Structure formats: C-alpha cells, structure tokens
Structure 1
Amino acid sequence: MYKTLTLKEFVSQVTFNIVYYEQQKATAVLIPVSHWHPAKAAELQILMEQLTYIPVFECSLKELEERLRPEIQNVEAESTHLGLYNLYEPDGNQEYNNHVIREYADHRELVKVNTTTGDSQIVSRRF
C-alpha cells in the first residue's frame, strides 16, 4: 500500500514530497514546478539514482552488463595501451567453434585453440 498525496495537498506544499510504499522504500519524488530550479538538477539526479538503485545481486544479466560496461571498456583500453590483447569469442558461427579473437591496439588475430591441450595457432592476422 502506498502513502499518497492528493493534488490539493501537493499544491499547498512548498518542499519536496517523497512517496513511500509499505516497506518504507521511497518510490517517487514530487516537486512543485514553481520550486524547480536548474541549479538543483544535480541534487535531484543524485536523489533519483538513490531511489532507483538496484542492488547488484537483484540485477538481471543485462542490467549487470550495462552497469559494468564502462569499467570493462576502461580495462580493455588500458590493456591495449600496455601492449596486451583483449580476447573475444567469434559471434555465433559454428565454423569458428574452437576459435578466439585476439584484439591488439593495431590489429586483430583469429586464433584456433585446441581445447584438449590448450595449444593455439594463428589462422589469420587481418580479417
């Protein structure tokens, strides 16, 4: 059950109104238009992020991937900057079932991997 405010009560309020549900978790913020100020936008954004934050163990795989994407991109960029490579599996092609892609700063390599021994062989440097 939600704690609700009627329009009449809202219009008479001069401050933010936070709507809570029965477990006392905030679900919405009501702001009178007359009190909106662009300088407060950053504060409001922080508040809204706190209200909509989903703990990591409650995230779907897609939400977790989106949350981690900036950090993954930073790690990938740093590794190529250091002369290392990033490793990927080719997308959905059965022909490349035992292959990986090594991506360096200046080129990519298609590599066949023996899954029994771990030996690898470069198939193509440019593709």
Structure 2
Amino acid sequence: MKLLFNHVSNFEYRATEKTKIGTELEEGEKTGETGESILVKVCSESGDDDSTVERTLDEIKDISNQVGVKSLVLFPWAHLSQDLASPDAAEEMMEEMKKRLEGEGFEVLKAPFGWYKEWKLESKGHPVSVLSRAV
C-alpha cells in the first residue's frame, strides 16, 4: 500500500463523474469538507492484506500523533502504483480502515471510491506537513 499524507488547514471535494468501477451515490454523498485534518491518499496494491491494513493504521496513527490531529480524510488515489489491488479489495480495505479508525476516536471522512473528483486544499507548511509511506 502506498500513502501520501498532507496536513491541511481545510479540504473539500466534489465527485463529478463516475468511473467504470464507481457505484451510484446519493447527492449528499458527492461532496465533503473538513477543517484541519490529515489528508491520506491511499493506493492499495495487489498483495495487500489484513497485515498491510494493520501496518497502514499504525502509520496513520503515528503521523496523527506527530501532528496532533485526530481528523482524517481517506482519499482513494490509484496514481501511486502500477500494481493495483482489485477495486473491490481496495474499497474493502478503505472501509475497514475507516471503521477501525472511528472506533479509536478519529473523525474520518472517506471520499467516494471510483469517481473523478475536483478538490481544494490548503496545506500546512512544516517539516511533517507532506509525507509519503510505502507499507
């Protein structure tokens, strides 16, 4: 799994067009926004499994502790690898991460999977405001 982190002051998205792997969304599910949070762009790769999810959660929690922010945005981002997991597996892993993080007291916004999105962000500027990880 590949991850790209941004510590943001604010973030918003709007789903604009469904891809061939996207599912239908209600109108209210097409937009989201948050204030200060950690934007986590997630790219699931073939071979990722439960242990990968566990290590990914450890990375997210570690960065959250470093930055001091408990608000997260999970954003599907297939652009970090050429060896992608199946869409069903990738979405299932993101749902599992969301569920587990919320169970640990995080506020989690998950952007729609399988949709083109326009988005705006205002990034912080400090030594750990932009990070990448390969898990």
TM-score, scaled relative to structure 1: 0.25
Larger Rg: 1
Q: Which has the higher strand share?
A: 2
Higher RCO by CA contacts (8 Å cutoff, separation 6 or greater): 2
